[in-house]
Structure 1
Amino acid sequence: MSIGMEAFLWGVGSAISLPLGALLGLWWKPQQKINSAFMAFGAGALLFALTIELFGHVPHHVQSHGYWSLVAAVVGAFAGGALFDGLNNVLNNQGAYLRKLSSAKEYLINLRKKQNRQLIEELGKIHILAKLNPQQMATLVNKVRQLKVNKGDKIFSQGDVSDSMYFIVSGAIDIILHDSKGDKSIATLKAKDTFGELGVVSEQGRSADAVAKEDTELFQVMKADVDKIIATVPELKNSIDALVKERVEDLAVKAPSGVDAKWKRACLNYVDEYSRDLS
């Protein structure tokens, strides 16, 4: 058989292999593992064919022009790969990752990992969270909701239902108390501080307004999630208990007309009961 005829037959076989493979897949419908093995084999065969096509002539070129030809081929291969990867990342960042399900999934997974890393870094700066170990911090990460509020926005009002607590990432929050003697700003909380924990732990309404003094970024954790996290992280429970008791005492001192002794005692009792329930 002549070389030309042999090449022709190989070409015909290669051309019809794709539709034959597709028909076989429709008829047989193999399991996912078998399907993946075939796809991996096909990808490897294609990569091998491309390698032969692109670099098969290099050994002959080296014989004629020396080893600098080999160096040039290797450098060109690495440079081409780096250029492709760089352009691919640029396109993916512009939304081209949607072109394939696999690339979309990979992009979203990587994006989520990046967001989690940033979230853990920010949470680690919060005073009452600084002592949590990595496993405990991971428990918290999935429960956190990020919020951005503008200057003058009210996060909650005095008397509202206490359904969540907040960690300040950046910015500042004014805590404003209303009573019979008027309004008074009793505290200005800044980055790394916590607020809203008093109502969550004492199961009473908000004791004051929380208003953004400037554009502020917050992390919010709902009460139900706070209960679950504290139940499994004793270090956090102890930190929140201490913070709540400190806030109650501080409120008693700074309130314009003082704090009702019965209310103060009730808050502290709730804190103690809450701690026992979660222990």
Structure 2
Amino acid sequence: MTEADRVPPGIDPHVPSVARMYDYYLGGRENFAADRAAAEQMIELGRRMGNDAREIALANRAFLGRAVRMIAESGVRQFLDIGAGLPTQDNVHQVAARHVAGSRVVYVDHDPAVLVHARALVAGLPDVAVVEGDLRDPGAILDDPAVTGHLDLSQPYAVLMLAVLHFVPDDAEAAGIAALVRERLRPGCHLVLSHLYAGNATEDAARAGRQVYAGTGAGGLATRGHDQIAAYFDGLEPLGPGVVPVADWAPEAAPGGAYDLVRPGILAGVGRASR
């Protein structure tokens, strides 16, 4: 089968997709030449800043596993993954099922290719649903009958937004999205979030990264500082070490440690609603 034969209807393979670029970082095969070319530009840019984009992507995926395991073992059985991206190994429902039975998961994305692959992956799994939705309108996602019909949002649940909020370039809009999600969290609910971190990246490097992602379907990219990212958890009880580099976040890690907040990369955190 040629690459052209793998293109789903309605997909332009010549426009890079952030989901397929991420798949490429993770070593997947659900990507096209345009995705690989754009991803390689980011890999080279990261290399010049002393980072490995592939390692950071893999660390972000491993963070998802640690966070979901911790939340599942705490007794939460419902997960809403917004901006889920292309299915790969150790998806949310697989991690949760390994640690506790009976978890229910909803994957949300607006990319048609992601929806096709995700629905194929979970076909026949009664505890898993795939819903079309836009990160920029989290209220519509939380009120969607397809979501509320699968999850009981009157009971504790976890919202996951991993490596997606940085595709909302406007700072106020990104903060508003996080705030609305927080407002809807009941006691015992969790927010799991990771986000591209500016660190000591030069403006030239940041601009180059934005230019790469300007050519994708997402249309933009924002790197933000530690305080901006930490503010997405305002009012929540921080778990583990707080907001730290994604490779360092672990449930048992202590806050206030000597974490590298100099190099750019991805920061991650988990917060729990207590009121």
Q: What's the TM-score once normalised by structure 2's chain length?
A: 0.21
Question: Which structure has the greater CA radius of gyration?
Answer: 1
Flag the structure with more relative contact order, 1 or 2, with Cα contacts below 8 A and sequence separation at least 6: 2
The structure that is helix-richer by fraction is 1
